[in-house]
C-alpha cells in the first residue's frame, strides 16, 4: 500500500447499544424528557457523513469497526447515548464526498432534513479546510479523498438556520472537537511552516473559539442541556506512539492547552464539561481497570482496507486474534468497546449533574 495512503490513518478517523454490550449501569429512565440528540464535532461523533460511494460499498462509513461485532451493530458514543435515553438514532445531517480517487467516485453533497448528526470526519473548530479536504490536494495526498470537513462553527450555524434560529431547549446537545486542529498544526510544524510555540498557541485559540461558540451560539440560543467533551490526550494514541518523545510531548501540550482555554471560556456557563482528557490518561496508565487488552495497537489491520483508516474497517479487516477489548480501531479512532467506555463516562457525568 502506498505510504501516503497509510498516513491517512493519522488523519481520518472510527459499540453496540450501551445496555446490549453490558457496559453501562443498566437501563435508566432519564429524569429529563429529551426530544432528540444534536451532535457537533468531528470523526469521533460522525454517524455516517462519508457512508457513500465505494466507502459504503465496502461496508464502511464510520470511524469505528463498521458492521456487526459479536452479533451487535457497532455504534459510536453519540449513538449509544441516544439509545440509552430512548431517543431516535442519530443520522448524518449532511452526506457526500468530493473524492478524486479513481476507485472511490465522488458523491453529491446532500442535506438531510430531520437529521441532527452534524459532526464530520476531518472537521476543525473554525477553519473550513480540515483533514482530507480536497483543497489540500495535491500538496497533501490524503486530500484526494475529498472529505467535506464542515467546521463546528458552520455545523452550529446550519442547525440554527434549519431550526428557526434557536434551540428548543429540550434537546441534548453534544460537542467534541479539536483533534483535527492538532493534526493540522502538527503538520505545519513538520513542514516548517510553524514553530512548536505557534502550534500550541493556535490550539489555545481553537479551544477559546469552541467555548465562545458554545456560549454564544448554543446556550444563548436556547439550549439548556449541553454536553461538551474536552479533547482526549492525543499523545496517548497509536499514531502518537509511533513518533519520537519530543513530538509526543508537543502533542500533549497542544491537547492540554486546547482544553485549558476551552474550560476557561466555559467558566460560569451552565454546561456539562466532560474530562475525556483525564479518562484517556487513566486508560493509558491503567488499562486493566477498564478491561482493556491493548491501548497501543490498532484493532484494524490497515493492510486489508482500501485505504488506511477505520472509516473502511470492518470485521473482515480486523487484525488476527481477539481484538474485542482493544481501545483503538486505527491510529486515533476508537473501537466499539472504546466508544462504549466513552458513552459510559458521559452517562455517569450526566447522572451526577441530574440530567439522566
* Alpha carbon distance, N-terminus to C-terminus of the chain: 46
Provide the grid cell at 92: 448524518
DSSP string, 171-226: -EEEEE--HHHHHHHHHHHHTTSS-HHHHHHHHHHHHHHHHHHIIIIIITTT--EE
Mean of pLDDT values over 160-184: 98
Query: How far is the CA of 28 from the CAs of 172, 351, 355, in angstroms?
Result: 16, 10, 11
Mean of pLDDT values over 59-66: 98
Q: Where are the alpha helices (DSSP H) in 58-104?
A: 77-84
Mean of pLDDT values over 103-125: 98
CB 173 within 8 A of CB 78: no
Q: Grade residue 192 by pLDDT with cuts at 50, 70 and 90.
A: very high
Measured from the Cβ of residue 96, the count of other Cβ atoms closer than 10 Å reads 20
Q: Grade residue 194 by pLDDT with cuts at 50, 70 and 90.
A: very high
Q: Grade residue 19 by pLDDT with cuts at 50, 70 and 90.
A: very low
Q: Grade residue 71 by pLDDT with cuts at 50, 70 and 90.
A: confident
CA 136 to chain centroid, in Å, comes to: 21
Tell me the residue range of the domain where 11 lies: 3-353
Residue 29, pLDDT score: 52
Model's pTM, two decimal places? Answer: 0.92
DSSP string, 5-41: HHTHHHH------TTTTT-SSS----SS----EEEEE
Residue 30, pLDDT score: 60
Q: Please give the tally of structural domains in the chain.
A: 1
- Indicate which CATH number applies to the domain containing 275: 3.40.50.1110
CA 322 to chain centroid, in Å, comes to: 24
Average pLDDT of the residues of the chain = 92
DSSP-derived secondary structure letter, 294: B
Residues 6+ apart with CB under 8 A from 187: 140
Q: Which residue has the cell 451532535?
A: 39
CA distance 213 to 328: 29
Asked if the model's pLDDT at residue 148 lies above 50, the reply is yes
Asked if the model's pLDDT at residue 157 lies above 60, the reply is yes
Q: Which residues pair with 174 in a beta bridge?
A: 39, 227
Asked if the model's pLDDT at residue 140 lies above 70, the reply is yes
Amino acid at each position: 500500500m502506498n505510504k501516503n495512503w497509510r498516513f491517512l490513518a493519522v488523519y481520518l478517523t472510527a459499540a453496540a447499544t450501551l445496555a446490549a454490550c453490558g457496559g453501562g449501569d443498566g437501563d435508566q429512565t432519564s429524569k429529563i424528557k429529551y426530544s432528540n440528540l444534536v451532535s457537533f464535532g468531528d470523526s469521533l461523533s460522525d454517524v455516517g457523513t462519508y457512508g457513500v460511494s465505494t466507502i459504503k460499498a465496502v461496508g464502511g462509513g464510520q470511524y469505528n469497526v463498521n458492521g456487526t461485532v459479536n452479533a451487535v451493530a457497532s455504534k459510536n458514543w453519540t449513538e449509544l447515548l441516544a439509545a440509552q435515553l430512548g431517543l431516535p438514532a442519530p443520522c448524518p445531517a449532511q452526506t457526500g464526498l468530493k473524492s478524486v480517487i479513481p476507485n472511490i467516485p465522488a458523491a453529491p453533497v446532500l442535506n438531510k432534513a430531520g437529521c441532527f448528526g452534524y459532526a464530520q470526519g476531518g472537521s476543525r473548530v473554525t477553519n473550513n479546510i480540515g483533514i482530507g479536504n480536497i483543497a489540500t490536494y495535491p500538496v497533501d495526498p490524503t486530500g484526494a479523498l475529498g472529505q467535506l470537513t464542515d467546521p463546528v462553527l458552520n455545523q452550529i450555524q446550519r442547525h440554527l438556520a434549519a431550526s428557526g434560529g434557536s434551540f428548543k431547549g429540550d434537546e441534548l446537545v453534544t460537542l467534541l472537537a479539536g483533534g483535527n486542529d492538532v493534526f493540522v498544526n502538527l503538520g505545519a510544524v513538520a513542514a516548517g511552516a510553524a514553530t512548536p510555540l505557534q502550534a500550541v498557541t493556535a490550539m489555545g485559540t481553537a479551544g477559546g473559539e469552541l467555548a465562545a461558540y458554545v456560549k454564544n451560539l448554543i446556550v444563548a440560543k436556547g439550549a439548556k442541556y449541553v454536553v461538551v467533551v474536552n479533547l482526549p490526550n492525543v499523545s496517548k494514541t497509536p499514531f502518537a506512539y509511533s513518533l519520537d518523545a519530543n513530538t509526543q510531548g508537543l502533542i500533549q501540550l497542544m491537547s492540554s492547552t486546547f482544553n485549558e482555554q476551552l474550560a476557561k471560556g466555559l467558566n460560569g456557563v451552565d454546561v456539562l464539561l466532560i474530562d475525556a482528557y483525564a479518562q484517556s490518561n487513566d486508560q493509558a496508565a491503567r488499562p486493566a481497570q477498564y478491561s482493556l487488552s491493548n491501548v497501543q495497537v490498532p484493532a484494524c489491520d490497515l493492510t486489508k482496507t482500501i485505504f488506511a483508516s477505520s472509516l473502511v474497517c470492518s470485521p473482515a479487516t480486523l487484525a488476527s486474534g481477539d481484538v474485542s477489548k482493544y481501545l483503538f480501531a486505527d491510529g486515533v479512532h476508537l473501537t466499539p468497546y472504546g466508544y462504549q467506555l466513552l458513552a459510559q463516562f458521559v452517562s455517569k457525568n450526566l447522572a451526577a449533574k441530574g440530567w439522566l
